[in-house]
Amino acid sequence: MKKVLYVLVTLCVTFLGAAEVKNVNQEVANALSIMENKSKKNEFRAGVVLGSSIVESKIYDTKHKKVVYVNNILNTLVLSSTQPYQYFGYKAVLLKNKDFNAYSLPGGIILINDGIFKYLENEDQLAAIIAHEIGHSEKNHGLASADNQKLVDIGETASMLVVGSNVSNAYAAVGSIKALGMTYEAVKNGYDVDQEAEADKIAIDLMSKSGYDAAEFSNVLRILQKTVNDYGGGNYPKDRLERLNKELSKLDYYEEDANKDYRTSRFRKYK
C-alpha cells in the first residue's frame, strides 16, 4: 500500500506541483466525485488517482530528454484531435518498465513503458501507439467504461473516506477506485472490442493529418504479434490487423515522405 501512496503523491506532484498538493486525501476525495461531477478537472484528478493504482515502476523525471521527446510527439498529434483540450493538457508519463505497453487514463494522461523503444523501429511507430491512446482519451473511453459497467456506488464509497483524518484513508480510497467505476481492468488490460477498434481508426486519422506514415501502424501490430503473440490482448479485435489495413486503404493519398528518415534517426537516439 505504501507503494500505491508513493506513486499517487509522485503523480500529483508531477502534474500539479508540490505547492498544489497540500492534502493527498483531498485529491483522492475530489477524484472520487468524478461520477457525480464529470468536469475536466475531476477527470484529470481521477486519472492521477487511477494511475497510482496501475503504476508499479519508477517514473522518469518530466525534464528527461526522452520524456520531452515523447511529449513533443504527443503534442504534434493532439493538434489534429477533435478534443485537443484537457484540464491540464495532454501529458505523457514515461515509466521505467521493459514491457511493451501503454495506457490511456482519464484527463488526457498517457502512461508509456520505455520498453517499447526496444521493440519499435522508428518514430512513426511510436506515434501510432501514442495516437491510439489519444483516441481513447478523445472518446473518453475510460469513463464510458465506468458508466457501462455500472460499478459506481458513490454513497458507500464516500463513507469509506474520512478526508483529512489519516493517510490510511487514502489507501482505502485508492483501493476503492475499481468500485467507483474507474475501470482499472479496462485501462490496464484493454477496453472493449468496439472501443479498441475506434481508437485504432482515430489513430490512423491523427497520424495522416500530422504528417506521420499511418501505414507504420500495421508494422506496430506485426511487432506486437511477434513480441507477445497477440495484437494487444483479449479485448482487442481478433481481426485487428485486417481492420486496420482496411482503414489504411481509405486514405486519399500516399506519397514518399522525405522526412521519415530524419524522424527515424531522431528516434534512434533514444533507443
Estimate to the nearest angstrom the gap between the alpha carbon of 13 and the chain centroid. 18
Q: What is the 3-state secondary structure (H, E, C) of 16-33?
A: HCCCCCCCHHHHHHHHHC
Are 94 and 64 in contact by the 8 Å Cβ rule? The answer is yes
Cα distances (Å, whole numbers) of residue 266 to 103, 113, 122, 155, 261: 24, 19, 8, 51, 9
Picking from 77, 142, 147, the residue whose alpha carbon sits closest to that of residue 104 is: 142
Arithmetic mean of pLDDT over the chain? 74
Quick count: other Cβ atoms within 10 Å of Cβ 252?
5
Q: How many residues does the chain have?
A: 271
pLDDT at 94: 94
Quick count: other Cβ atoms within 10 Å of Cβ 265?
11
Burial of 19 (0-12, 13-18, 19+ CB in 10 A): exposed
Cα distances (Å, whole numbers) of residue 103 to 2, 73, 141: 22, 16, 12
**Residues in the chain with pLDDT < 50?**
1-9, 13, 16-22, 24, 35, 147-184
pLDDT at 18: 43
pLDDT at 179: 38
Q: What is the pTM of this model?
A: 0.78
pLDDT at 175: 40
* The one-letter amino acid at 46: A
C-alpha cell at 141: 473511453
- CB burial readout 198-236, b (16+ within 10 A) else e: bbbbbbbbbbbebebbbbbbbbbbebbeeeeeebbeeeb
Q: What angle do CA 254, 264, 107 make, to 5 degrees?
A: 85
Handedness of CA 33, 39, 41, 45 (dihedral sign): positive
Quick count: other Cβ atoms within 10 Å of Cβ 267?
20
Are 87 and 41 in contact by the 8 Å Cβ rule? The answer is yes
> Three-state SS for 164?
coil
Are 85 and 185 in contact by the 8 Å Cβ rule? The answer is no
The sheet carrying 102-105 orders its strands as: 91-95, 109-113, 102-105
